[in-house]
Chains A and B, each alone.
Chain A
Amino acid sequence: MSPTHIDVGAILEAAYHPVYNDLVTRATGRTVRDRIEQRLADRGTARLTIIDFSRIGLIDFSCADEIVATLVRRSCGDAPGYDGCFLFDGISDAHLDAIEHVLERDALALIVRISNGGHRLIGVVSTRERETWEYVLREHAADATAVAAQLGVDEHEATHTLTALERRRLLMRDGARFRAPLGAVA
């Protein structure tokens, strides 16, 4: 199934006249997130949703919390509000300032595709989680046996880490193998 693509710039354009290209204020963040969530509800089941910020100028802390952190919070945990993973696309250094701040505050993490095309895991993860995620990314897909061998841990611990990353929507499971949710260019 192909990923769902949500253009945040288009949502902002549709929501406001005159048109803004900055995501500032909590009220704006709430409006934009409501529309993203409506799209998520309308789309049915999709394993990956790409949320595209490439046409957004600035994001302030309030919008970063209201849109990014809230979507991540609601996608994780025991009773997630959405199925599937998110990839936050078109992220610039200016966006990262606010996004990293809100992720740190709430111990959240997510995957971004930087404007130059590279993928990055940002936010709060343990060293073992980061090593595991980066190995899976390099290999495109890996199972617990391969992760255990690469990181020098037992298979039970590798399984635990992979499952924890899956619960945080930072990896997707295909049978016994896991892969990072990277979108069409992966």
Chain B
Amino acid sequence: MSAVITVPESLDESAFESVIDQVAAQPADARLIVDARHTAFGTPYGITALLCLGQSRAVRPTLMVPEKETTVGYWARAGVFAHAESLFELSGRVPAGRTGASSDVWLPCTAIAGSEDVHKVVSSIQERSEAILGQELNADPRMIGRFAMTLSEACQNIVEHAGRGGWVMVQTYSWRRIGRRVVQIAVCDAGIGFAASLAPSQARRFGDRWSDARALESSVVQGQSRFPDPGRGQGFAGIRRFLSPWEGKLSVRSGTARIAIVPAWDDDVPMQEGLSSFPGAQVSIIIPGKAI
């Protein structure tokens, strides 16, 4: 059985929920046709989450690529198709160009499976950070290191907890709703998710109240880890420490719940439960910059 999944014109974190809702309504073995022909814009979150959708399916789905030339060209430069071709049957005109050093993407879609991948990402981002952070965010030089640390900790979430590989992508864009340029770090995987990762060490104290939402609270807010060693659980605590002075936003979706550390400029809700189920964990970090 085949089912068409319509990708919205603007594929951001909020819009991806509609994709998840459509996928959740289909049987696990349905053959999905993911129709992104009319998609004109994708944030790093939307793009990396789309790759997770491909990764999560038992039957290889089809991805109908964007028809708009600028969009499909950008997705090619951002490395989307380089990863998507191993997850989807690609349908439509895919440009032959590959991701390169001159790409207008800050950090293209990059696969994260192990520690060495995180090293490469951190090295790469530092090379480009100084100019971009200065131009986009009026950032002081100390921010470059903090930004790279934030990225490193977010990526390690995949290495330590996902049980399979995922993707990271970083890009700046204009966010009209808040009238500012923003930098988004997105780190998404279709692995085991927070509840399964933390259950052996944390579930007992919650009893039958253990859920995706409690797992997210334990990790993101309370800094709990599935590892018993002292000092574990530093990642999200460190990310929150850096985001606070930048008025940055952190959101993490896993399973059927989503938690957000919401800055004053946004009206998002801190916790959503009862969402349609989606495997793994999807992390978004948004740092606001100059007014547009």
Contacts and interface: CB of A to CB of B under 8 A. Distances in A.
Interface of A: 16, 20, 22, 24-28, 57-62, 64-66, 69-70, 73, 93-94, 97-98, 101-102, 105-106
Interface in B152-181: 152-153, 156, 159-160
Q: Is the interface of A mostly helix, strand, loop or mixed?
A: helix
A26 B230 contact: no
A26 B238 contact: no
Contact of B231 (A66, A93, A97): A66
30 contacts: A20-B119, A20-B123, A22-B119, A24-B119, A24-B152, A25-B115, A25-B119, A25-B159, A26-B115, A26-B156, A27-B115, A58-B126, A60-B148, A60-B149, A60-B156, A60-B238, A62-B152, A62-B156, A62-B234, A65-B232, A65-B234, A73-B230, A94-B145, A97-B149, A98-B238, A101-B234, A101-B237, A101-B238, A105-B231, A106-B230
B7 interface: no
A25 B231 contact: no
B: contact size bracket: 20 to 34
Interface in B239-291: 241-242
Contacts of B241: 101
A60 B152 contact: yes
A97 B239 CA distance: 12
Q: Which 7 A-B pairs have the closest CB atoms?
A: A61-B238, A94-B145, A27-B115, A65-B231, A61-B234, A25-B115, A60-B152
Given A20-B119, A25-B152, A61-B149, 12 more contacts: A16-B116, A26-B156, A27-B115, A27-B159, A58-B122, A58-B126, A59-B149, A61-B237, A94-B142, A98-B238, A101-B234, A106-B230
B118 A93 contact: no
A13 B45 CA distance: 34
B235 interface: yes
Contacts of B149: 24, 58-61, 97-98
Contacts of A93: 142
Contacts of B126: 22, 57-58
B122 A26 contact: no
